[in-house]
């Protein structure tokens, strides 16, 4: 079958694209950047489109040409930036469903979320429920799947948060240790999707895609800690729930700068409500339960790269904050001491006025880079700018004031670790 996968290079979407391709389907992936999709998995076709802008059935017409089935794996956690929950989860999907009726698309497989309902506590869940309702009402051949916490070799959102919590050394600080969680392996979810696309699952059915049992958040973190090969926590610290409020406010504020923290208010509220579903429908379909969390992890051995990811994800906020503070303070201090800074430059090579202009210009460049690195879409280019400016400082400093290399305070030597920190940050900020 020719299958269109919405959100084709997301955590779930890319795995579905790979699974459908392996099953022999002709797959077309849809995302905001076809170029990124092709880099991640070049063996299928990719189309560029933002579901939030596809609000009318006619906008879907060309995308559905020749398509026999649609898998909707697109989603956003919270309003802000480029994310519009109502548009992505409901309006865009309703338009797609209407277009599918005209295009005679044979089946729609909707990837929803456990807990999606009209009266849920978060707009994420409520908008997911409205999208589910649009699918039910618009076509006669549909399957709605609601996965729990998806466990995958890749990690974004909640699964990344679990790894970060597991990487905290010595102690295990958790604000909601008793929150209930059910998981599903990404391969098992993809298997269910493939069955749904191929018609092996009956039409007009929906199911929670979860393991049979549930776990407390503290148990999940401890299980991941063991899976990663980290030593058990010497002390478990149950943080008060009120401590999450300022964390969520800060994470939501960072979202305005493009940082999609797993600690945003929607994610924390979802954990508070519990990520739990009902495994009975899938059990009836397959005659068995999906693998448990421990079985999932046993089948997915942790690698050195997993341990790096967990530790580096925990350190990333500190690294970015340190890099920003270094450049901002460098600029501010220089502006506060222009004459002293200009006096470092050799008067025989530069006039006082030129030296002053260089100091002021360099200071404002430092401040600009320190501020820009805090904006997620601009963070990697800012790191590249930091490397370039640092190299320029080294070259200019070596030419004009070579004695600074032997200065006891090491003003030029200290530029070298700043360059390395910027390069490390660039590597850590890879989008996918």
For 45-96, the pLDDT digits (tens) are 999 999 999 999 999 999 999 999 999 999 988 887 778 899 999 999 999 9
Burial class (CB in 10 A: 0-12, 13-18, 19+), 41: middle
Going by C-alpha positions, the residue among 281, 129, 292, 296 that lies closest to residue 201 is 281
The DSSP result for 119-137, as a single string, is: T-SSHHHHHHHHHHHHHHH
Centroid of chain to Cα 386: 25
- 8 Å CB contact between 76 and 234: no
Pairing verdict, β 26-31 and 45-48: parallel
Distance, in Å, from the CA atom of 167 to the CA atom of 427, rounded to the nearest integer, reads 19
Which value, in Å, is the radius of gyration of the alpha carbons in the chain? 26
pLDDT the model gives residue 318 = 93
pLDDT the model gives residue 431 = 62
pLDDT the model gives residue 82 = 77
Q: 72 Cβ partners below 8 Å, 6+ apart?
A: 6, 7, 93, 96, 108, 109, 110, 111, 131, 135
Q: 230 Cβ partners below 8 Å, 6+ apart?
A: 166, 167, 169, 307, 310
Q: 292 Cβ partners below 8 Å, 6+ apart?
A: 183, 211, 212, 213
Query: What element of type H or E holds 16?
Result: helix 11-22
pLDDT the model gives residue 340 = 85
Q: What is the 3-state secondary structure (H, E, C) of 180-202?
A: EECEEEHHHHHHHHHHHHCCCCC
Torsion-angle region of 350 (φ positive above 0: left; ψ -120 to 50: alpha; else: beta)? beta
The DSSP result for 195-254, as a single string, is: HHHTT-SPSSEEEEE--SS-EEHHHHHHHHHHHHTPPPPSEEEE--GGGHHHHHHHHHHH
Q: 323 Cβ partners below 8 Å, 6+ apart?
A: 370, 373, 383, 386, 421, 422, 425
Domain boundaries, the chain: 2-302, 315-428
Kindly report, residue by residue over 199-210, the tens digit of the pLDDT: 999 999 999 999
pLDDT the model gives residue 373 = 97
Alpha helices in 79-180 (DSSP H): 85, 92-103, 123-138, 157-166
Q: What is each CA distance from 34 to 17, 44, 177, in whole angstroms?
A: 13, 11, 40
Task: Classify 332 as helix, strand or coil.
Answer: helix
- 8 Å CB contact between 199 and 107: yes
Q: Which residues of the chain have pLDDT under 50?
A: none
pTM over 0.75: yes
User: Could you say which of 3.40.50.720, 3.60.20.10, 3.40.50.300, 3.40.50.12160 is the CATH number of the domain covering 2-302?
Assistant: 3.40.50.720
DSSP secondary structure letter of residue 277: -
pLDDT the model gives residue 9 = 92
């Amino acid at each position: 079958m020719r299958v269109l996968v919405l959100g084709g290079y997301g955590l779930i979407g890319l795995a579905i694209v790979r699974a459908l391709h392996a099953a022999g389907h002709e797959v077309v992936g849809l995302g905001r950047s076809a170029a990124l999709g092709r880099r991640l998995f070049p063996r299928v076709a990719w189309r560029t489109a933002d579901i939030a802008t596809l609000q009318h059935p006619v906008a879907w017409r060309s995308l559905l040409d020749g398509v026999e089935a649609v898998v909707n794996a697109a989603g956003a956690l919270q309003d802000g930036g480029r994310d519009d929950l109502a548009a992505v989860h409901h309006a865009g999907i309703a338009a797609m469903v209407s277009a599918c009726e005209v295009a005679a698309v044979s089946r729609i497989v909707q990837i929803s979320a456990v807990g999606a309902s009209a009266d849920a506590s978060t707009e994420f869940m409520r908008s997911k429920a409205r999208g589910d309702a649009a699918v039910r009402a618009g076509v006669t051949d549909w399957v709605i799947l609601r996965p729990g916490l998806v466990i995958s070799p890749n990690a974004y959102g909640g699964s990344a948060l679990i790894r970060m919590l597991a990487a905290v050394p010595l102690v295990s600080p958790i604000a909601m240790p008793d929150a209930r969680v059910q998981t599903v392996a990404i391969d098992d979810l993809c298997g269910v999707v493939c069955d749904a696309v191929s018609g092996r699952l009956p039409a007009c059915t929906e199911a929670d895609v979860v393991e049979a049992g549930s776990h407390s958040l503290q148990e999940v973190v401890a299980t991941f800690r063991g899976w990663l090969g980290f030593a058990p926590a010497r002390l478990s610290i149950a943080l008060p729930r009120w401590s999450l409020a300022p964390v969520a406010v800060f994470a939501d504020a960072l979202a305005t700068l493009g940082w999609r923290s797993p600690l945003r208010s929607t994610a924390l509220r979802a954990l508070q409500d519990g990520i739990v579903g009902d495994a009975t429908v899938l059990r009836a379909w397959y005659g068995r339960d999906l693998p448990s969390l421990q079985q999932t992890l046993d089948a997915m051995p942790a690698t050195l790269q997993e341990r790096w990811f967990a530790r580096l994800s925990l350190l990333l906020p500190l690294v970015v904050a340190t890099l920003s503070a270094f450049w901002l303070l460098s600029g501010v201090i220089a502006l506060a001491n222009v004459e002293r800074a200009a006096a470092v430059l050799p008067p025989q090579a530069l006039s006082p006025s030129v030296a002053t202009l260089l100091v002021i210009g360099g200071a404002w460049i430092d401040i600009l880079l320190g501020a820009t690195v805090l904006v997620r879409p601009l963070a990697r280019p800012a790191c590249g700018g930091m490397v370039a400016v640092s190299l320029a400082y080294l070259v200019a400093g070596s030419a004009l004031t070579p004695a600074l290399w032997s200065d006891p305070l090491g003003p030029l030597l200290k530029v070298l670790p700043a360059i390395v920190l910027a390069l490390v940050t660039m590597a850590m900020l890879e989008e996918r």
